[in-house]
Chain A
């Protein structure tokens, strides 16, 4: 079975202090570390596991600059066979443009199953996968937290809200956007990545894919990025662990009443 997995290199923002760039159209990224998008890591692991179980190939694809190739090297180190990078050049990216670039790159690749992450940690659109599927005329399901391939169909569990799940099946070729927790991603060793550095990464561009700027008009243009408004800020408790604990217990006692705590 031939699998294509789409991955993205994103800045690690979870525990970073973000500072806006002058112009307020983006944050300063020079002081941020880059990592593979967490959802895509699960997707890549799932792809490799499917390959390990039933043979076939895995191709990793990303849209990004040369520095973003490290995310492809990681996939190669995990066990992917091929890696393709689409260099967007000056093109402004949004979900729809990214999907268009990916579609052009993935189309000529053998693909029985395409896996993407549900969303990227930076822009959080959540729809590049399904947009890509639509452009490739693939059947698709988003937010999948479990899947198994049976011959020419894939059975997927879709994660709905409130703890409910939907079970469905789709004919291959199909695209699934994969949710965190679907598996436990393996550790990728530095040696493995170094070895993967010897594998060539194929680079494509909008030109080489036959796309014109008319095909790549973004749906949205960013006007301004700003810090979240401090609505109803929390009352901060000061002191060390025990002092904070004491105050927390006092608050609980007050709000809950009775003999708790």
Chain B
């Protein structure tokens, strides 16, 4: 017998197979079309710039192909996925190669064929092994973050059935054909020994062959209608990730929208990400809100948003409209998770761990935009804060006068009054009016003066950067504040800005129109001063401290080391790290507009972090963000940890060490 691949041995009605195969492919393509048309149903279609992104491609290679993030914290998951993915993909490629061999160029012969056959065996076993690991993880070990829905088990079973039946079919054939040189098909060869007689095997073969064919074709057809679609959506999402790491709806949103659209208007990138989710639950595991048992789960938010957008696209599509005509009624749209959207702190922990780079905070932001438009679902406290912000340039105080109250007794140069300054210190709304955080501003001003920095503030002309407006979905208000602020920077020739709040810093740096101004957070400025020897003399502070990475400084802007260098520079300070630090830092709960929500049980989120800080045994918890300070200080009180742990801003710690805070008490 020639050494080559056997096709349709003993199979009659081969044309039927091809018809079914064609059908299966048509269904597959239709399914893919349905999904992709959801992406394209975005109000502004494809993103304008879709050029080649080397970074995107590199990430697809590292995360899509190698599944880099899957291994993080869960080696078994990474292995399992690699086995399944490569097993399946390899077998698919094998099928393609066979088709070419059968119909066009007969090249799978001799040695080529033996290698080919061996590879397929290995791939088949990989797939089965991967599926077995998956089943064991889900149903025996019961890994916490997995949901175990019906779809999950069916997909795994289907994959296993296809692979196993493939081996059985091969075994039957080998038992029936009994060729001499099928040792390379070792799997099938092993199985073939199980079958009693060649005659029996030959008789059984067609049935098993059709079973395997139908299972495989069924899998192909089912593919885009199930979670498996992620294999197509995920690479696209990963490719787009470098461009869409930030939620900046401004560029795409409402230029001259005449009609208020009803419901959230997800954009292309967001729709892609919604369809790439495999419900692995890593986001839920790191989400501070979900972990504090609030009624929010990034995973189910994504799922609901996905169902909603598919229903909207479906009902608008020709098929959907026809169906409605025939049925005579519109199907009710699944709900948009509007109420839940207010819980998200936008901390980005989800994006940090998602193997396919989905950030739940992005569709959350989109839903918030539509909630703000609609108006009735906005909490009264937030309504008041936004209206106060609109009228007075500050969400806290209905008064413009109070902006400079924090500087009482201090000599702070006012750039708007003509003072010359190299650095403009942007105090921020919260820092300037909240009695606790005013101390941060006072400390920083003293430190900068001590270090000989030429700085000034914008006095009463300082407005709001607009962060809270953007985070809660008030795009119109954000644009107004941004315009005003950019205008003020221009008017007073500001070229360098340093902020107290990482939120202001992040917004200025990444979400304001690109300009000539350099924006930094105060930790970066102080780090530079430290390097220049201008933060001296640092008197010893005998204390064990732990540092809380603010989300908008750490995860959003990768500033992890500067604050730590500053702390370590103080003699006597011993820095211990919390269990979650750096990119894993746990949000304090103050971001994403949560300061102005009245969420039930919202204290718990901050208390979780406060307890984690206390567990380090540190005496001082150090933060670098006014929200973090307010939230965690409050949490220390409500969790009863006040005696164990004090909380200070980095400014205050440095100020104390430099001996500048005598009368303030720090």
Contact = CB atoms under 8 A, between A and B. Distances in A.
B476 A193 contact: yes
B306 interface: no
Interface string A1-43: 0000000000010111100000000000000010100000000
Interface in A53-87: 78
Contact of B372 (A17, A33, A189): A189
A191 B383 contact: no
Contact of A198 (B258, B392, B474, B477): B258
Interface string A172-198: 000000000000111111111111001
Contacts of B475: 190-191
Contacts of B101: none
* Size category, B interface: 20 to 34
B383 A187 contact: yes
Contacts of B260: 191-192, 195
Given A12-B391, A12-B398, A187-B382, A195 B375 contact: no
B385 to A, nearest CB: 10
Interface residues of A, number: 21
A18 to B, nearest CB: 12
B376 interface: yes
A190 B480 CA distance: 9
Contacts of A184: 380
Contacts of A192: 260, 373, 375, 476
Interface string B370-381: 001111101010
Contacts, number: 60
A121 to B, nearest CB: 13
Contact of B375 (A17, A78, A194): A78
B256 to A, nearest CB: 9
A191 B257 contact: yes
Interface in B340-374: 372-374
A33 B391 contact: yes
Interface in A222-249: none
B399 A16 contact: yes
A187 B254 contact: no
Contact of A189 (B380, B391, B398, B476): B476
A105 B259 CA distance: 29
A190 B257 CA distance: 13
B182 interface: no
Contacts of A78: 375
B638 to A, nearest CB: 18
Contacts of A191: 254, 257, 260, 373, 475-476
A194 B382 contact: no
A27 to B, nearest CB: 16
Nearest to A241: B435
A35 to B, nearest CB: 6
A78 B378 CA distance: 13
Contacts of A193: 476
Contacts of B398: 12, 14-15, 33
A42 to B, nearest CB: 12
Contact of A186 (B257, B375, B392, B479): B375
Which 3 A-B pairs have CB atoms at the shortest separation, nearest pair first?
Answer: A190-B476, A186-B375, A187-B378
Given A187-B372, A189-B476, A192-B260, 13 more contacts: A15-B398, A15-B399, A17-B401, A33-B398, A78-B375, A186-B378, A187-B383, A189-B372, A189-B375, A190-B477, A192-B373, A194-B476, A195-B258
28 contacts: A14-B398, A15-B398, A16-B399, A17-B401, A33-B391, A33-B392, A78-B375, A184-B380, A186-B374, A186-B376, A186-B378, A187-B376, A187-B382, A187-B383, A189-B372, A189-B476, A189-B477, A190-B390, A190-B476, A190-B477, A191-B254, A191-B257, A191-B476, A192-B375, A194-B476, A195-B257, A195-B258, A195-B260
